[in-house]
């Protein structure tokens, strides 16, 4: 995928602050430290478009980026970081639920999971939530470079069983080696093609 432009548009906490729904939109979600900023930066060939935070999970903002003037990428706040104040953590669910429930141009969610972790209650409830709302989702296993190719395949199989999904639909990804970048872009483009702009 050739990237001609990638720009930060705005941050939001509520729907009135979202940019107009003019483009297909992909939202990226995952536990804090899963490698979400690194994955988005790899997709758009930028080192610092999405800033990696020193205190992960503190910024509970929804950040919008416009890529190639044709698709919006949304960086959702990471979940599951223990040091985040309880009040902030409690706000995560309603904020994300509102975003997912109300965003009319949402083409799909890209859910990230560290390849070395088992899916937890958060991943299961997110998967249930998305299928109940009929929202397309992609599952990406991050930091694949930490494991050998054989172990990557074994982990993919174990995670697919745990999540009850086809292993072929789990994308092995590494920001370090760029493994999986092309296939992820292909899947994203498939989801975008289904988007019809609002008249």
Chain centroid to CA 184: how far? 11
Residues numbered 157 to 176 that lie near ligand GDP (CB under 6 A) are: 174-176
Q: Is the CB of 23 or the CB of 173 nearer to ligand GDP?
A: 173
Burial (0-12, 13-18, 19+ Cβ within 10 Å), 85: exposed
Examine residue 149 and tell whether it contacts ligand GDP (CB under 6 A): no
Q: Is the CB of 24 or the CB of 30 nearer to ligand GDP?
A: 30
Q: Is the CB of 52 or the CB of 118 nearer to ligand GDP?
A: 52
Q: Which of 6, 29, 56, 181 binds ligand GDP (CB under 6 A)?
A: 56
The nearest distance, CB 42 to ligand GDP, in angstroms, is 8
Contact letters for ligand GDP, residues 57-86 (x by CB under 6 A): ---------------------x--------
Separation between Cα atoms, residue 111 and residue 114, nearest integer Å: 10
Examine residue 140 and tell whether it contacts ligand GDP (CB under 6 A): no
Cβ atoms of residues 29 and 111 within 8 Å: yes
Cβ atoms of residues 144 and 180 within 8 Å: yes
Cβ atoms of residues 100 and 106 within 8 Å: yes
Separation between Cα atoms, residue 1 and residue 188, nearest integer Å: 11
The nearest distance, CB 30 to ligand GDP, in angstroms, is 6
Examine residue 33 and tell whether it contacts ligand GDP (CB under 6 A): yes
Separation between Cα atoms, residue 54 and residue 164, nearest integer Å: 34
Examine residue 111 and tell whether it contacts ligand GDP (CB under 6 A): no
Cβ-based neighbours of 93, under 8 Å, separated by 6 or more: none
Separation between Cα atoms, residue 96 and residue 109, nearest integer Å: 11
Task: Note the residues at the interface with ligand GDP (CB under 6 A).
Answer: 30, 32-38, 52, 56, 78, 142-143, 145-146, 174-176
């Amino acid at each position: 995928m050739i990237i001609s432009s990638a720009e930060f548009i705005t941050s939001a906490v509520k729907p009135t602050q979202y940019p107009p729904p003019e483009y297909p939109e992909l939202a990226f979600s995952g536990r804090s430290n899963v490698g979400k900023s690194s994955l988005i930066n790899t997709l758009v060939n930028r080192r610092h478009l999405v800033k990696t935070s020193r205190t992960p999970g503190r910024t509970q903002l929804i950040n919008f980026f416009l890529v190639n003037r044709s698709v919006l990428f949304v960086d959702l706040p990471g979940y599951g970081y223990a040091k985040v104040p309880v009040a902030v953590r409690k706000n995560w669910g309603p904020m994300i639920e509102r975003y997912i429930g109300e965003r009319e141009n949402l083409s799909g969610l890209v859910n990230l999971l560290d390849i070395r972790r088992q899916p937890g209650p958060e991943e299961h409830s997110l998967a249930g939530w998305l299928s109940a709302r009929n929202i397309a989702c992609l599952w990406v296993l991050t930091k694949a470079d930490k494991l050998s190719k054989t172990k990557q395949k074994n982990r993919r199989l174990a995670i697919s069983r745990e999540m009850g999904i086809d292993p072929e639909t789990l994308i092995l990804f590494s920001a370090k080696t760029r493994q999986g970048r092309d296939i992820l872009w292909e899947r994203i483009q498939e989801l975008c093609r289904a988007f019809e702009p609002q008249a």
